[in-house]
Structure 1
Amino acid sequence: MKKSIIYSFVLFGFLFVSCSGNQTTDNAQLEGNISPIIPKINGTVASVLVEDNQAVSEGDTLAILDDASYKIAVAQAQIALEQAQQNVKLSRNNSNISAASVSTVKANSNAVSANIASVNAGIEAAKTRLELTTKNFARYEKLLQQKSGSQLQYDVAKAEKEGAEAQLKIAESQANSLAKQIDASKQQVATGQAELASSVEGITLTELAVRQAEQNLEAAKLLLSYCVITSPASGIISKKNVQKGQVVSIGQPLMAVADNQKIWVVANFKETQIEKLKIDQTVDIKIDAYPKKSFQGKIASFSQATGSKFSLLPADNATGNFVKVTQRIPVKIVFNEALSADYPLRAGMSVSVKVKNQ
């Protein structure tokens, strides 16, 4: 009897020593990615294409919203874009017309400048002729007074003098007229250049209007695309809360897609155990749903804060009476083996883990 008791104590001591390095906890559960399905626009549900617990793939259509008003918005944006494009064409045509007008006015001004040089030469010739005819007239007038010349010679000299005076006046009048034309041409050139500059600015503004219209069209198309609600990931439909004819708003939860392919464990170890845990340590995983099945995994990472720090009302130890409570650190554990269809795992399942001493 005494020997059996001694053997029992020895066996218990051996088991205690051999297991003392393993860290265990049943404060653990399975976790997985759960993608919320929420509308990005306000609208009325036209159809719902999935049911609760249905498997879907990424990109599958889950629901469709009434798109009538959004199609109208796209059509209006398309019309606005076409109008803006036509305004660009019109502005460019006006700019070309202004440029052609400026070129024409400059050409006319150059022609007038060339003519005024010829007229100035004519004025000088008229002055020379007038000077000569004036001298001849004075000579014949003196000869007539001396009875040495005839009346006919006097009349011819007088006519030539008066003709030279008239020709000079005509040439000077032409010069003045051409000078005024040059001034008017310069004013027209200045006005045309101002109009040309304005038309160039108008082209820039209309091109900006086209870009704005293009962005408005893209925005309208984007809103239209939101009428088709698709799955952001592959998984199982959960918490379906939408029906045909329902009016939904931006941000309203309609359903969720729970990832059934990537599952991991979050075990909440006591802070006094963390010192003995390391990355890549082997972990025995027991899931309450499958008590006869043991899974293998390893430590992947540690949370940077305790669970209480993420609570809605975290404890403030600097106020009131302080009671020390052992905190828990969430530890992420991943499976070493691929998930089996024989043992389907679901987020939220209760788990017990044992980290083997290495």
Structure 2
Amino acid sequence: MTPSSEIPPFPVISWPEADGPQSARWRSEAGVPPPKRVVIADDRTTADSAYRLACEGTALLWRGDFQNARQLLQAMSRRLERKPPKRATSPLDAFNLHRQAQSQRARTLGMLLIPLDADYTIPLRRAPNVQDACAETYGPAGADTSVVSLREVLGLIGAHEWRKKGVEIPALGERIHPYYGVFSPVRGEYIDLVARTPLPSQGLAFDVGTGTGVLAAVLAKRGVQKVVATDQDPRALACAQENLARLGYADSVEILDADLFPPGRAPLVVCNPPWLPARPASPIEYAIYDHESRMLLGFLNGLADHLEPGGEGWLILSDFAEHLGLRTRDDLLAAIDRAGLIVAGREDIRPRHPKAADASDPLHAARAAEVTSLWRLKAR
């Protein structure tokens, strides 16, 4: 850490020291601005004191033992859980309260910070080696020391392990390895829909918003000769490229940086957009929340111009938003109709993820009723 002087081309966090103000590069994959108030904390800092400061908006830059910092974070989390949840009056109210609680949790727990040396080592006692995890997310190490929330670092470690281990995909008989910030295909039901629905053609398919590349891989495994998979996120593009190459589909799947559709038309166009029409709170949430249904409506409104005569567009969409009151079935059907499309058929599947059976989840009623559908759409 060095005294602040020049203004660098990245966010900077500053804090007081005995020999004067210090500063370092601020890192936040969630796009959170650097805290304005920072105090030094160490092994003598109590959980009550840390929690109070964090709730007041004061960040704690940790100088003690790394494992003690993890325990402190857990203690702060337990204090958050003690607060009785507000009673929801409707599914939509439950969703809004749930998001508020998530936001408050992220904001409060994100106030416990740790330093990173320029080579991504953590200069704390008993700190793990996070160099590979940081390099995968932040890019190659440079010359800048930095400060990051402990919660984010733990997320990087978890994502690094997922990337190494991968996610088993029964429809492929292989594993998909997600990158940090790229939606992991842990909900296999939407993959099963693509794996079982009869193909209109095996000649060409577009996979719009490919993410990890899992649906492109499923289509290639089913015998589609050429798949063009698109995405705009650089991490997703790199992730899909790596997964498809490892699975042996590099020659049959082309990865393209594009907003929604690639050029041309295809007899099959597949899209699995984010399922909830709400505003993302951070860049990482763009895989879950589709503000004002931008991707959904963009896909529907552009589909007819990218389908070959007689071709099908496969829209994979959960009705979770409908059960939450964020969208109605009539809204969806009207959007399909306005786009000059008709519904040729629909395949449905129930979710298998653990939350669907967790009665303590604040959104349990909506999750228990959820159905994921593959809508087979054709140009009118």
TM-score bin, normalised by smaller chain: under 0.3
Which structure has the larger Rg?
1
Larger RCO, structure (CA 8 Å, separation 6 or more): 1
TM-score (norm 2): 0.16
Higher helix share: 1
TM-score (norm 1): 0.17
